[in-house]
């Protein structure tokens, strides 16, 4: 299929999206700048890639540099998936897998209509992570799962969890004093503020 002059190939756009997703997940997990994703992926940061623009792809030098950066698959640069002491992969409960599948469909740039673009060799391939209870995909583990810290903590148990005093759901507390999940905390604080204002007005009126 012919491309209009100056247009960016679809595979290049996809790689830019992948870098952006890795930058977001990496910054959420480590509290660092998205630019540091360059070290993790072994390629340019997504802002640099996006900044190359259509004009950059018109020049032969820019194209060669981009191919040099993309010669190695960023997937290979990701850390290995953690395993239990017995060597087995961490497994999810049915409820956790349902949350994970929803997260994949919503956030994973490699998932298209339930199929994995990376594994597409001409025939569509169902995303392996959506049909497995084990955490078996490195891209899901390091680029998608960190976007939901609570689900990640539930699966790997590497963070202290608390149960919400209102709805009973587990959540990752930001402090030792936290008693409510983020959703319930907002409602409880609004109710407390309303009660405080009501008491203050009643005191002034009396």
For residues 126 and 99, what is the distance between their CA atoms, to the nearest angstrom?
Answer: 18
Q: Torsion angle, CA of 162/165/168/169, rounded to 10 degrees?
A: -40
Asked if 149 and 159 count as a contact pair (C-beta separation under 8 A), the reply is: yes
For residues 69 and 152, what is the distance between their CA atoms, to the nearest angstrom?
Answer: 31
Which of 14-28, 125-139, 160-174, 188-202 is predicted least confidently?
Answer: 14-28
Residue 47's pLDDT band, with cuts at 50, 70 and 90, is very low
Give the CA distances from residue 30 to residues 25, 43, 189, in Å, rounded to whole numbers and listed in that order: 9, 19, 29
pLDDT tens per residue, range 93-147: 999 999 999 999 999 988 888 898 888 878 888 999 999 999 999 899 988 998 8
For residues 103 and 105, what is the distance between their CA atoms, to the nearest angstrom?
Answer: 6
Question: The whole model's pTM is what?
Answer: 0.49
Hey, where are the domains in the chain? 1-77, 80-159, 162-205
pLDDT tens per residue, range 54-108: 444 445 566 566 555 555 566 677 888 888 888 889 899 999 999 999 999 999 9
Would the pLDDT of 25 be above 70?
no
Asked if 99 and 106 count as a contact pair (C-beta separation under 8 A), the reply is: no
């Amino acid at each position: 299929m012919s491309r209009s002059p100056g247009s960016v190939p679809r595979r290049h756009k996809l790689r830019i999206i992948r870098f952006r997703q890795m930058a977001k997940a990496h910054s959420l997990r480590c509290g660092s700048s998205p630019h540091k994703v360059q070290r993790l992926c072994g390629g340019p940061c997504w802002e640099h890639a996006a900044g190359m623009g259509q004009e950059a792809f018109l020049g032969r030098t820019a194209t060669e540099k981009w191919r040099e950066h993309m010669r190695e698959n960023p997937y290979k640069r990701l850390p290995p998936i953690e395993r239990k002491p017995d060597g087995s992969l961490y497994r999810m409960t049915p409820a956790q897998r349902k949350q994970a599948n929803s997260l994949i469909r919503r956030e994973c740039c490699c998932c298209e209509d339930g199929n994995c673009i990376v594994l597409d060799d001409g025939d569509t391939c169902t995303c392996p992570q959506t049909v497995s209870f084990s955490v078996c995909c490195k891209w899901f583990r390091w680029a998608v799962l960190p976007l939901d810290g609570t689900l990640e903590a539930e699966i790997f148990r590497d963070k202290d969890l608390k149960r919400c005093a209102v709805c009973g759901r587990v959540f990752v507390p930001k402090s030792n004093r936290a008693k409510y999940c983020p959703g319930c905390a907002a409602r409880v604080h609004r109710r407390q503020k309303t009660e405080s204002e009501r008491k203050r007005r009643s005191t002034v009126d009396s």
